[in-house]
A and B are shown apart, each in its own frame.
Chain A
Amino acid sequence: MPTVAPFDLAGHCVAAAFLDGVPHFALADGAVHRLDHGAKSVTVHDGLLCAAPTWDGMALVTGGEDGKVALTRPDGSTQTLAEVPRKWVTSVATGPQGAVAYASGRTAYVRFADGKVKSYDHPRSVEGLAFAPKGMRIAVARYNGATLHFPAAEGKPADLEWAGAHNGITFSPDGNFLVTTMQENALHGWKLADGKHMRMTGYPAKVKSWSWSPKGKWLATSGAPAAIVWPFSAKDGPMGKAPVELGTRGNTMVTAVACHPRDEIVAIGYADGMILAGRIADLKEVVLRRGGKSAITSMAWDAAGIRLAFGSEEGDCGVVDISA
Chain B
Amino acid sequence: MADTQTNAGNGTQIPVTVLTGYLGAGKTTLLNRILSENHGKRYAVIVNEFGEIGIDNDLIVESDEEIYEMNNGCICCTVRGDLIRTVEGLMRRPGRFDAILVETTGLADPVPVAQTFFMDDDVRAKTRLDAVVALVDAKHLPLRLKDSREAEDQIAFADVIVLNKTDLVTPEELSKVEGLIRAINPTARIHKTSRSAVDLSAVLDRGAFDLKRALETDPHFLDADDDHDHDHGHDHHHHHASDIHDVTVNSISLRAGEMDPKKFFPWIEKITQAEGPNILRLKGIIALKGDDERYVVQGVHMIIEGDHQRPWKDGEKRESRLVFIGRNLDAERLKRTFEACQA
Chain A residues close to B by CB (< 8 Å): 11-12, 14, 28-29, 46-47, 49, 65-66, 86-88, 90, 105-106, 124-125, 127, 143, 163-165, 182-184, 186, 205-206
Q: Does B312 contact A (CB under 8 A)?
A: no
* Given A65-B58, A125-B81, A127-B81: A28 touches B92 (CB 8 Å cut-off): yes
CB-defined A-B contacts under 8 Å, sample of 29? A11-B92, A12-B92, A14-B92, A28-B89, A29-B93, A46-B58, A47-B89, A47-B93, A49-B89, A65-B58, A65-B61, A66-B58, A87-B62, A88-B86, A105-B64, A106-B64, A124-B66, A125-B81, A125-B85, A143-B68, A164-B70, A165-B79, A165-B81, A183-B79, A183-B81, A183-B120, A186-B71, A205-B121, A206-B122
* Given A28-B93, A105-B64, A206-B121: A125 touches B82 (CB 8 Å cut-off): yes
* Given A125-B66, A143-B68, A182-B71: A86 touches B81 (CB 8 Å cut-off): no
Question: Which residues of chain B from 31 to 86 have a CB within 8 Å of any chain A CB?
Answer: 50, 58, 61-62, 64, 66, 68-72, 79, 81-82, 84-86
* Given A86-B50, A124-B66, A184-B72: A143 touches B81 (CB 8 Å cut-off): yes
Complex partner residue of A12 from B93, B120, B121, CB under 8 angstroms: B93
In the complex, what residue of chain B is closest to A10 when comparing beta carbons? B95
Inter-chain contacts of B71 with A (CB < 8 A) = 163-165, 182-184, 186
Chain B residues close to A by CB (< 8 Å): 50, 58, 61-62, 64, 66, 68-72, 79, 81-82, 84-86, 89, 92-93, 120-122
Chain A: minimal CB distance from B232 (Å): 47
Q: A47-B93, A65-B61, A105-B64 are in contact. List 19 more A-B contacts (CB 8 A).
A: A11-B92, A12-B93, A28-B89, A46-B58, A47-B58, A90-B85, A90-B89, A106-B64, A125-B82, A143-B66, A143-B68, A163-B71, A165-B68, A165-B71, A183-B70, A183-B79, A183-B84, A186-B71, A206-B121
Chain A: minimal CB distance from B147 (Å): 26
Bound together, the chains give a CA A90 to CA B93 distance in angstroms of: 15
Give chain B's interface secondary structure class: mixed
Bound together, the chains give a CA A100 to CA B65 distance in angstroms of: 26
Bound together, the chains give a CA A202 to CA B68 distance in angstroms of: 20
Chain A: minimal CB distance from B238 (Å): 36
Inter-chain contacts of B122 with A (CB < 8 A) = 206
Chain B: minimal CB distance from A126 (Å): 10
Bound together, the chains give a CA A12 to CA B90 distance in angstroms of: 11
Inter-chain contacts of B84 with A (CB < 8 A) = 183
Inter-chain contacts of B68 with A (CB < 8 A) = 143, 164-165, 183
In the complex, what residue of chain B is closest to A107 when comparing beta carbons? B64
* Pairs of residues from A and B, 7 with the lowest C-beta to C-beta distance, nearest first: A164-B71, A28-B92, A165-B68, A12-B92, A105-B64, A125-B66, A184-B71
Complex partner residue of A125 from B64, B89, B93, CB under 8 angstroms: B64
Inter-chain contacts of A88 with B (CB < 8 A) = 61, 86, 89
Bound together, the chains give a CA A186 to CA B72 distance in angstroms of: 11
Inter-chain contacts of B86 with A (CB < 8 A) = 88
Bound together, the chains give a CA A66 to CA B58 distance in angstroms of: 8
In the complex, what residue of chain A is closest to B84 when comparing beta carbons? A183
Inter-chain contacts of A143 with B (CB < 8 A) = 66, 68, 81
Inter-chain contacts of A28 with B (CB < 8 A) = 89, 92-93
In the complex, what residue of chain B is closest to A30 when comparing beta carbons? B93
Bound together, the chains give a CA A100 to CA B81 distance in angstroms of: 24
Chain A: minimal CB distance from B243 (Å): 40
In the complex, what residue of chain B is closest to A164 when comparing beta carbons? B71
Chain B: minimal CB distance from A145 (Å): 12
Inter-chain contacts of B92 with A (CB < 8 A) = 11-12, 14, 28
Bound together, the chains give a CA A163 to CA B82 distance in angstroms of: 17
